[in-house]
Amino acid sequence: MKFFIDTASLKDIQEAQDLGILDGVTTNPSLMAKEGISGKNNIMRHYKAICDIVDGDVSAEVIATTFEEMITEGEELAEIDEQIVVKIPMIKDGIKAIKYFSERGIKTNCTLVFSAGQALLAAKAGATYVSPFVGRLDDISSDGMILIEDIRTIYDNYGFETQILAASVRHPLHILQCAKIGSDVMTGPLSAIMALLNHPLTDSGLAKFLADHAKANGK
């Protein structure tokens, strides 16, 4: 399973990259705003800075909601770097835009997916990635992992090449559940990724080894 980080923070992206496990980055307008990035030129430069850090795909989201505007904005984003994946919302004109981009070899990420039917439409249109939001489903007392399972079944039934990119991942259990089900990619905050490192027996075991070593060497 690929590990993407969901942030616009260059610091967090660099830390994940230095760990050696980062496969890509996802962003959205809210994450850009959180980092104080505003204005078209600044946003474009920030996407380029992200591409310069990572080796994999970088999802850059359009703000437009009409077909024509999404095409114009998406083509501008795609010109930033070959790593850019144009992030398109799951709406009627979004499906049309995904089809347009897929026919022209521009990678896309269909975002704000909350049903298997939406994921099926995105795959039919040729999306590179589809992003079901598992955490937001959990927030309304719905099991986001059931959606991942349903999409996995449908895609496997028909051999769709669209990759399942589990989004709105909140914690390490989400990551492990996605891995068990067979999500192609997960994207989440650095904190969720780093939490996979932690186990109390690892900490106590290392402390014991170090204490025994120090005792044996008269320290």
CATH number for the domain including 176? 3.20.20.70
Strands, E assignment, the chain: 2-6, 24-26, 57-61, 84-89, 108-113, 129-132, 163-166, 185-188
Predicted pLDDT at 29: 85
Contact 50, 10 (CB under 8 A): yes
Residue 208 lies in domain:
2-216
Number of domains in the chain: 1
Q: Catalytic residue numbers?
A: 87
Residue 7 has φ and ψ, to the nearest 5°, of: -170, 165
* CA neighbor of 64 nearest in space, from 43, 47, 87: 87
pTM: 0.95
The ranges of the chain with pLDDT < 70 are none
Q: What is the pLDDT of residue 28?
A: 87
pLDDT at residue 129, rounded to an integer: 98
pLDDT of residue 118: 98
What digits encode the pLDDT tens for the residues 166-190? 999 999 999 999 999 999 999 999 9
Tens of pLDDT, residue by residue over 189-208, are 999 999 999 999 999 999 99
From 127, 125, 130, select the one nearest 112 (Cα to Cα): 130
Provide the pLDDT for residue 175.
Answer: 97
